Amino acid sequence: MTPVDTVTRARTAHVAFALIALALGGFAIGTTEFVTMGLLPEIATGIGEDIPTTGHIITAYALGVVVGAPVIVSIGAHLPKRELAIGLVLALGLGNAVTAMASGYWPVMIARFLAGLPHGAYFGVASLIAASLVTPEFRGRAISSVMLGLSVATVVGVPASTWLGQNLGWRSAYWSVLGIAVITAIALWIFVPHSGGNHEASIRKELSALKRPPVLFAVATGMVGFGGIFAMYSYIAPAVTDVTQMSRSFIPWFLFAFGVGSVVGTWVAGRLADWNVQRSVIGGFVTMAAVLALFVVASPYVVPALFLVFVAGAIGSVIAICLQVRLMHAAGDAQMLGAALNHSALNVANGLGASLGSIVIAADFGYRAPSAVGVGLALGGLAIFGASIWHQKRSELVAHPSMIDQRLRRQDREYADLSA
């Protein structure tokens, strides 16, 4: 082995460890985001409230994500990225520690809001770090590796923390997230290379990305289109028991199928993003609409329903990651903000899908109806994304009118060739 080969292999190994460290932060975030759903009855008992009221702490976390992503990224854009990532993951750990110590409804609500603040900002800076570690043709895969931590959390972290919370008290689940956050901070310090901050960055410069139509289109696409997945997934438990007619013991299998699908989809998404982001998003929404429509019909049958939930998890990851890559490109110099905004959009989609699903259920349309609503949301996201493509092409033609003349001349030549 030559010295060059040795150096190359050492660098490759170091990049791999850095990506694992970044993914570990995603694992901590995914665990704390979804474990609350599994421990809702225990938390309700612990704080002396009913389950519907306690469910508002899930909304509080999502609100923290929506608020924290643009604010924290804009303020911290000039800081060194590794140190910013470490600070965010430690803030996440602190938010979980406050949750574990909180007593009563409002203290827990505030603690969950605080825990959600670093969520989107962490994925924003982690995605930017991951992209900087590899050559351009592998950036999609690097970004997806960070998101892989969140997907793995749905398969491993959430069930393990739920079991811990059920057997040692609900607070123990949040203490475990604090432990993961500390381990992540140490790994980031060891394996992620230091890079100086961008001293030219400013709050105004970062937020100027919000004036870019491609950024606004991509955010709106995620807010509406991704709501289709949440419309179905938010009510998967009653769908399993009331529509599929299976016992509660089958619900974890459906959750597991969704989680495994998310892991597979995350792995595939990196390659699709490196291939063609635009086509991947379009194909993703078309497939999502088809899967949700099929779930309306096939949900009474356990095997097809289980398979469709698996595919929904995979497609959701593909769309989320490809939209994140598109946002990073569309945001220009504010790539960190672009990546963070994607998570704000997805949390809005979470609330939108769940809310619309609850409306049709309350109107006595049954537990298949949220998936039908999801079809409409998926097609709405596809329409918004189509409008963004049209706007992009129109802007290019306006900015470069010579392109119109070139296209017309090319069409004239093709017509002449056909006539001949």
Do 352 and 230 contact (CB within 8 A), yes or no?
Answer: yes
Write the pLDDT tens digit of every residue in 204-222: 666 666 677 888 888 899 9
Q: What distance in Å separates the CA atoms of residue 357 and residue 228, rounded to the nearest whole number?
A: 10
Write the pLDDT tens digit of every residue in 227-280: 898 888 877 777 888 888 888 777 778 888 888 998 899 888 888 888 888 899
CA dist 131 → 22, 135, 152, 274, 367 (Å): 12, 8, 20, 12, 41
Q: What distance in Å separates the CA atoms of residue 164 and residue 169, rounded to the nearest whole number?
A: 7
Is residue 400 over pLDDT 60? no
Contacts of 186 (CB under 8 A, 6+ apart): none
Residue 419: its pLDDT value, please? 45
The CATH number corresponding to 1-199 among 3.40.50.2300, 1.10.569.10, 3.40.50.300, 1.20.1250.20 equals 1.20.1250.20
Q: Is the pLDDT higher at 363 or at 310?
A: 310
The CATH number corresponding to 202-420 among 3.40.30.10, 1.10.8.50, 1.20.1250.20, 1.10.1040.10 equals 1.20.1250.20
Domain ranges in the chain with CATH number 1.20.1250.20: 1-199, 202-420
